[in-house]
Chains A and B, each alone.
Chain A
Amino acid sequence: MSPVPVAAAQRVAHSVRSEGVWSAAWRRLRSDRVGMASLGVVAAFLLLIAAAALGWVGRDWQREVGVPSAPPGFVGARSAEGPGAIVQPQGPNADLSDVDPLAPRYKEWDERAARFREIEIHKLQTLPLGGDRLGRDVLAKAVKGSEVSVFVGLMAALVATAIGTLLGALSGFFGGRIGDALEWLYSVFTSIPGILLIFAFAAVFGRGIGTVVLILGLTGWTGVYRLLRAEFLKHAVRDYVRAAQAIGASAASRMFRHILPNVSHVILVQLSILTVGFIKAEVILSYLGLGVAVDQVSWGTMLAEAQSELLLGHWWQLATAALFMAVFVTAFSLMTDALRDALDPKLRGLE
């Protein structure tokens, strides 16, 4: 091979492998204070959820450890009912033994009862964040509920994003008949009111975590589909995809090896937006009684229970579930925003 004249300016500094898109995005994210703080909160939640899933915390959330509706520790125990609450009878007790038909058996029963040991179950008067109407620890419920709610949100978002990405890629890349058919499907799904669709699915499938994931995934893919279709439409005619076609790359390779990494930021951001939305949707479903099974707890079931408790002034279950949800959802949304800023190529260079 003969030597080729090379302009001096063409020489590029030696380096083995340089910064990829993801590491550049991570570098940008790291300089975003709000983003990093929210990332920390989300990470803390995920740790808590992992611990709950492994049974380290919140395993015995169903035990009735406190008195019914035990108030939170910082509020203080409810004062025992005063002696004046029931009117004490005046005068000596009347002897009813001659008219009481059971009187002859009292002694026998006492003897029999003496054969058993009697334990006083010690129920806590207060719990750290209060108890529900059965005396279950609200904190344990909230921790266990986080596991269910976040799991449902994330899994449903994954299902919806996977469906939306696949259909969007097919529709945008191939267009034509396939595109038309998928557009009709999309139009049908979006023309039915969302909540009605969810109810219909819920009524057919019954209750349970798997069902909720399926319902939300099957109804929530439309937004991802629309965005990904547009992205694939745009990228399918780009020169680098044409170049890949010219070297003989198959359609699948062009779609998923070439284009997909270039639109992955859209997918990631959609995934996190959907996660937030689905956590809220699960809460609504459970509140309406169409969510997780009765022997499970989620933020939604906690809120549903709180409805009747609130009439008696027992606000702590509502407050705890709302607090957990608000903190997680807010942190997750902020993290999503920071992610989008870090990943969106349009904003690149405007830092």
Chain B
Amino acid sequence: MSALLSVQELQVAFRMGRVAGQVQRLPAVRGVSFDIAAERSVALVGESGSGKSVTAMAIVNLLPDNAERQGRILWQGQDLLQAGRARWRALRGRDIACVFQDPMSSLNPVLSVGLQICEPLRAHLGLGARQARARAEELLAEVGLPEPRRRLDAYPHQLSGGQQQRVMIAMALACEPKLLIADEPTTALDVTVQRQILELLAALKARHRMSLLFISHDLGLVGEIADEVVVMREGQVRERGTAAQVFQSPRDAYTRALLACRPTLQGAPPARLPVVDGPAARHALAESARAASKDPQAPVILEVRALAKSFWLRQGWFGRREFKAVQGVGFRLRRGHTLGVVGESGSGKTTMGLTLLRLLEPTRGEVLFEGRDLLRLGDRERQTLRRRLQIVFQNPFASLNPRFTIGQTLLEPMAIHGIGADRHDRERRARALLQRVGLDDDLLGKYPHEFSGGQRQRLAIARCLALQPEVLVLDEAVSALDVSVQAQVLNLLRDLQDELGLAYVFISHDLAVVRFMADEVLVMQDGQVVEQAPAGQILAAPAQDYTRRLLAAVPRGYAAAPALPRLGT
């Protein structure tokens, strides 16, 4: 079968302004080659900065103006790099269609869905208004939107994230493209919705005999949908082969590490996660299973009873409506233990975390810290207890003050709470903290923007540790990180827990990560606790239907993926 699309030695670099008269170039893709045969699905896998999205955008010529492309991109034998504007207009949308990561920002918010689907139909196929509308309705029905006729007149904000992504897919399908490029199409979606979209893509690919170029950072996801896998790192292809080959007998060390460093739902949870090219990878296996299992009779440090938080929404002129973000949440957390909190977006898990620290004022309930109710304390007592209960946020790029040096960031909490004798002593402590979280101790004069995501999250953890806390609320603390970095940070968190006896409230949407970290799991839905049980039990034998659905939706990688049709293999 000859290749539909053949990418040969593609190089992409971005011009980054001039320094001393010399144009500075930042290479993003350095010599990438792969083929996509007709009716096959190829996955580009890599972590952030690997150049996978840049490669895909280079194929459809949607890169920003400062990009320079070299190499050859052959579409049915024709070099697309030499194609003119008219050729591109005819090609994009008609033969090659794209679906992007964030459906909310990909759809025009002021135009109805129907209008947006009709646009490619009228532009490329020359359909009349009525024909186009009829076809748009068919398309919406095909991507599984209920009541397609009514949905045609809906605006994007009236649809949920999953429905929006379905609309995007309908638009991409409009002209029966030969190749569909899906750039992280499910990353912004909840895990159950992700499962539906994935199934839809696989079914559509088979029905329309399309090729699919699927871009993702998630190997588990890729294993379920791809025939061939291209693993990228730092702009280069590390490994290329059929899914079976890459997943079952990976040749490249990076691919192997990437496959190993992600926590899974199968097998016994390891003591530590293997890490991509870190020294930890070597002695991880040598280490025995987790140091003596935790003391089930450890004192309860945090107890929450019937915690509730409502937001008031204005309705009409005078009316207001109560929105119950969290209702009746209760749990007990023992010293040195981890409570995992799982739920989809909108389940109230983050609101619950913020309420624990009184970053949001709870509406009702009690938060007992060593038996004292945090919510009824005066300001001064609260300030002392506040030191012992800290939080790490999801986005390490937003949680550090960009105008503070690392030194200022770490010294501030100590100065507020009078930890350390003087400035000199505090600086010494700050250096020790940096070493503790695995960073160099001479970074005090640097600014956050000079660090990578993983390093910043370590800094955020160091800032919490500066106060010598006893309970850490980890609000999706590893969700924004790459898989390999995520493994390092998870290992760090475990080490800290073992050494300092920290208790964690570990909030995450990722069941596999929660399984690795947590002793007990709380499943939340619509602000309420659906199920609460020890981690092993909840994953092995979920009692509630919702929990079962969540578990079933988690991508399981290549090994356990007979669910999807694998045509063309």
Q: Are the C-beta atoms of B451 and A248 separated by less than 8 Å? A: no
B492 within 8 A of A: yes
B16 within 8 A of A: yes
- Closest Cβ–Cβ distance, residue B465 to chain A (whole Å): 11
Please give me the residue from chain A that is nearest to B491 by CB atom: A5
Q: Are the C-beta atoms of B413 and A17 separated by less than 8 Å? A: no
User: In whole angstroms, what is the CA distance A285 to B236 when docked?
Assistant: 67
Question: Known contacts A1-B435, A8-B278, A12-B440: does B386 contact A258 (CB below 8 Å)?
Answer: no
Q: Are the C-beta atoms of A5 and B278 separated by less than 8 Å? A: yes
Q: Which chain B residues lie closer than 8 Å to A239 at the CB level?
A: 393-395, 398-399
Question: Known contacts A12-B450, A351-B17: does B416 contact A248 (CB below 8 Å)?
Answer: yes
The A-contacting residues of B in range 314-351, CB under 8 angstroms, are: none
- Closest Cβ–Cβ distance, residue B56 to chain A (whole Å): 21
A123 within 8 A of B: no
Number of interface residues of A (CB under 8 A): 35
Q: Which chain A residues lie closer than 8 Å to B458 at the CB level?
A: 10
Please give me the residue from chain B that is nearest to A18 by CB atom: B446
Q: Are the C-beta atoms of A243 and B455 separated by less than 8 Å? A: no
Q: Are the C-beta atoms of B417 and A242 separated by less than 8 Å? A: no
1/0 per residue, CB under 8 A from A, across B198-234: the answer is 0000000000000000000000000000000000000
The B-contacting residues of A in range 5-24, CB under 8 angstroms, are: 5-12, 14-21
- Closest Cβ–Cβ distance, residue A20 to chain B (whole Å): 7
Q: Are the C-beta atoms of A246 and B403 separated by less than 8 Å? A: no
Q: Which chain A residues lie closer than 8 Å to B404 at the CB level?
A: 258
User: In whole angstroms, what is the CA distance A15 to B277 when docked?
Assistant: 25
The B-contacting residues of A in range 234-266, CB under 8 angstroms, are: 238-240, 242-249, 258, 261-262
Q: Which chain A residues lie closer than 8 Å to B16 at the CB level?
A: 349, 351
B62 within 8 A of A: no
Q: Which chain B residues lie closer than 8 Å to A20 at the CB level?
A: 403, 405, 447
The A-contacting residues of B in range 267-292, CB under 8 angstroms, are: 275-280, 283
A-B contact pairs, 18 of them (CB 8 A): A1-B436, A4-B492, A7-B277, A10-B439, A10-B458, A12-B440, A12-B443, A14-B442, A16-B445, A18-B447, A21-B403, A240-B400, A242-B359, A242-B393, A246-B391, A261-B403, A262-B402, A349-B16
B354 within 8 A of A: yes
Q: Report, nearest first, the 6 A-B pairs whose CB atoms are least far apart.
A: A17-B445, A7-B278, A5-B280, A239-B399, A247-B413, A351-B17
Partner of B488, one of A7, A240, A245, A261: A7
Q: Which chain A residues lie closer than 8 Å to B279 at the CB level?
A: 5-8
- Closest Cβ–Cβ distance, residue A319 to chain B (whole Å): 41
A79 within 8 A of B: no
Q: Which chain A residues lie closer than 8 Å to B399 at the CB level?
A: 239-240, 242-243
Q: Which chain B residues lie closer than 8 Å to A349 at the CB level?
A: 16
Question: Known contacts A4-B495, A239-B395, A247-B412: does B463 contact A15 (CB below 8 Å)?
Answer: no
Q: Which chain A residues lie closer than 8 Å to B440 at the CB level?
A: 11-12, 14
Please give me the residue from chain B that is nearest to A11 by CB atom: B440
User: In whole angstroms, what is the CA distance A238 to B403 when docked?
Assistant: 14
The A-contacting residues of B in range 373-402, CB under 8 angstroms, are: 383, 386-387, 390-391, 393-395, 398-402
Q: Are the C-beta atoms of A10 and B398 separated by less than 8 Å? A: no
- Closest Cβ–Cβ distance, residue A58 to chain B (whole Å): 41
- Closest Cβ–Cβ distance, residue B439 to chain A (whole Å): 7
User: In whole angstroms, what is the CA distance A284 to B395 when docked?
Assistant: 51
Q: Which chain B residues lie closer than 8 Å to A97 at the CB level?
A: none
B467 within 8 A of A: yes
B499 within 8 A of A: yes
The A-contacting residues of B in range 47-70, CB under 8 angstroms, are: none
User: In whole angstroms, what is the CA distance A242 to B458 when docked?
Assistant: 17
The B-contacting residues of A in range 107-165, CB under 8 angstroms, are: none
The B-contacting residues of A in range 204-244, CB under 8 angstroms, are: 238-240, 242-244
Q: Which chain B residues lie closer than 8 Å to A7 at the CB level?
A: 275-280, 438, 488
Q: Are the C-beta atoms of A6 and B446 separated by less than 8 Å? A: no
- Closest Cβ–Cβ distance, residue B270 to chain A (whole Å): 15
B437 within 8 A of A: yes
1/0 per residue, CB under 8 A from A, across B106-142: the answer is 0000000000000000000000000000000000000
1/0 per residue, CB under 8 A from A, across B443-459: the answer is 10111001100110010
Please give me the residue from chain A that is nearest to B484 by CB atom: A7
Question: Known contacts A12-B440, A12-B450, A18-B447: does B275 contact A5 (CB below 8 Å)?
Answer: yes
A2 within 8 A of B: yes
Please give me the residue from chain A that is nearest to B396 by CB atom: A239
17 further A-B pairs in the complex, CB-CB below 8 A; given A246-B391, A261-B401:
A4-B438, A8-B279, A10-B454, A10-B458, A12-B455, A239-B393, A239-B399, A242-B393, A243-B391, A244-B401, A247-B386, A247-B416, A247-B417, A247-B464, A258-B404, A262-B401, A351-B16
B432 within 8 A of A: yes
The B-contacting residues of A in range 23-64, CB under 8 angstroms, are: none
1/0 per residue, CB under 8 A from B, across A333-351: the answer is 0000000000000000101
User: In whole angstroms, what is the CA distance A6 to B443 when docked?
Assistant: 15
Q: Which chain A residues lie closer than 8 Å to B359 at the CB level?
A: 242, 245-246
Q: Which chain A residues lie closer than 8 Å to B438 at the CB level?
A: 4-7, 10
Q: Which chain A residues lie closer than 8 Å to B191 at the CB level?
A: none
B12 within 8 A of A: no
- Closest Cβ–Cβ distance, residue B320 to chain A (whole Å): 15
Q: Are the C-beta atoms of A248 and B413 separated by less than 8 Å? A: yes
Q: Which chain B residues lie closer than 8 Å to A262 at the CB level?
A: 401-403
Q: Which chain A residues lie closer than 8 Å to B275 at the CB level?
A: 5, 7
User: In whole angstroms, what is the CA distance A5 to B390 when docked?
Assistant: 24
The A-contacting residues of B in range 239-277, CB under 8 angstroms, are: 275-277
